[in-house]
Structure 1
Amino acid sequence: MFKDKNKLLFIGDSITEWGRHEDQEDIGTGYVRIVHDYLKVSYPNKEWDIYNRGVGGDRIIDLKKRWNEDVVELDPDIISVSIGINDVWRQLDHPELEQVDPQLFEQIYRELLETIKDKQIVLMEPTIIEEDMQAEGNVKLKKYVAVIHKLAEEFEATVVHTHEQFIAYLQSTHKQPVTIDGVHMNSIGNMLMAKTWITAVL
C-alpha cells in the first residue's frame, strides 16, 4: 500500500486540527499525532511527509474554499478527509446560518473528490455530537455518514468507520467519556479515532 516515500495529508475541522498550531511539527496532539507516530515507528524504512490541515469550525463549504491551496497544490499521495460534524452541529447551535443539508454536502464533497480521484483517498465518518446515540445531532449525522459511504464506493476510497465505532463505544459498558464537550476529543477519543483509522487503512 505504501511507497518508499509517502506524502500523507489529513484535512478536516477542529477534531483534526487539535493542537497543531501549538506544535512545532504542526501535527497537533489529537488522532493525527497518534497515527503519525504509529506510522513512523511501524514503517521506519519508509519516508513519511505527514501534514495536518485541520481548521476549527470548518464545514464542507469552508473546505471547498481552501481545497486547492491545502490539497491540490500540496499534491499528496494519500488524502484523509474528516468533515461533517460542523455541517450538522451548526444546524443545532446556529440555526440562523445558511445550512448545509445532505444534498449540498454530497454535491460539494463530490466536486472536491473529483480533483483527487487519481490519489489514494481515505474518507472518515464524522464522529459524534453528544455522548448519547439518540441525541438529535447523532440522528442527523446518519444521512451524512450515508453520503460518505456512497462517495467512497464511487471513488473507490477507504472508509474509516469512526461514527460506527463511537456509537459502538457508547453502547458498551464503558466508564470513561471520549470527548471534553460532546464533540471535541479527549485522549481516549483521539485514541479511538486513531485506532479506527489504522485498522481501516493499514
Structure 2
Amino acid sequence: MKLRQGYKLIVIGDSITDCDRARPVGEGLYHGLGHGYVNLLQSLIRCEHPSFIVQLINMGISGNTIRDLAGRWQRDVLEHEPDGVIIGIGINDVWRKYDNPMNQALAVLEEEYERTLNKLIDSTQAIGAEVMLLTPFFIEPNKDEPMRADMDRYGAIVKTVGECRGLPVVDLQQVMDRFLAYTHPSTLALDRVHPNQTGHMAIAKAIVEAL
C-alpha cells in the first residue's frame, strides 16, 4: 500500500477505530474522524506529506466483530470505491467469550474469523483496492493469561493471512508489548482493551511506518 495524491483510504474496525467518529460517514476536519488513531493518522500523513491530499474515512463501529463487518461491507466499504482499506478487527471476537460467557454464540471462533477475513479481502481486491491488516491486541503482559493467549492466536491468523496473500500487516500486539516491557497496563488502558492517546499515537505511527 502506497499513498498518492487523491488516495481514498478507508479504515474500518471496532471501538478502537470508531472513537466517536462522525455518522454516517466518518470524515472531514476536526472530530469527523473521531479522537483516536485514525485522526492522528491523518495528522501524521499531513505533517509528513503536506503537498498532497489523502481522503481518509473512518468506518469503525464500537462493539463490532468481523461478523458485523461482513454484514456492512458492501455499504460501508465497497460502495465508497476506496483505493485502499485498513482492517483492524478481532478484539470483540475474542472478548465476547469472556465478558458475555452465558452467550458463547456472540464470540467468533477462529475458523469463522479466518474464513470471513479472507472473504472481506477477496471482495475488496475485486474492486481493485489495496488492503492492509492490523492485528488485534490485548494490553496484558502475561502471555499465559487466557484472553491474551486467545488474542495472540487471532493475531497469528491475521499475520498468516497477510503473509500468504502478500499484504502488509501491522502487529499492534507487538506495538503494545513495547510499552508493557516498561510500564503497567493501566498506564495505557484501564480495561486493557481501549488505549489512551499514547496508545492511539503508537498505533498511528506504526501504520505510517508501514505505508
Mark yes or no: TM-score above 0.5.
Answer: yes
Write the deviation string for residues 120-168 of structure 1: whole angstroms up to 9, x where unpaired: 2110011215464443211101211111112112332110111112123
Q: Which residue of 1 aligns with 2:117?
A: 109
8 Å contact from structure 1 (residues 129, 135) kept in 2: no
Q: What value does the CA root-mean-square deviation take over the aligned residues?
A: 1.9
* Structure 1, unpaired ranges of 5+: none
Q: Which residue of 1 aligns with 2:26?
A: none
- SS class of match (2:12): strand
Q: Which residue of 1 aligns with 2:11?
A: 10
Read off the aligned partner of 1:63 and give its amino acid letter: L
Structure 1 vs Structure 2: percent identity of aligned residues? 29
**Equivalent runs, 1:5-154 vs 2, <5 Å:** 5-21=6-22, 25-95=31-101, 96-98=103-105, 99-117=107-125, 118-128=128-138, 130=140, 132-154=142-164
Read off the aligned partner of 2:72 and give its amino acid letter: R
* Structure 2, unpaired ranges of 5+: 24-28
Deviation at 1:24, TM superposition (A): 5.7
8 Å contact from structure 1 (residues 6, 46) kept in 2: no
* TM, length-normalised to structure 1: 0.91
- SS class of match (1:174): coil
Deviation larger for 158-167 or 55-64: 158-167
Write the deviation string for residues 106-128 of structure 1: whole angstroms up to 9, x where unpaired: 01111111011232211001121
* TM, length-normalised to structure 2: 0.88
The 1:197/1:46 distance shift into structure 2, 3 A limit, reads same
- SS class of match (2:200): helix
Give the alignment partner of residue 190 of structure 2, picking from 147, 158, 180. 180
- For residues 25 and 6 of structure 1, the distance between their equivalents in structure 2, rounded to whole angstroms, comes to 20
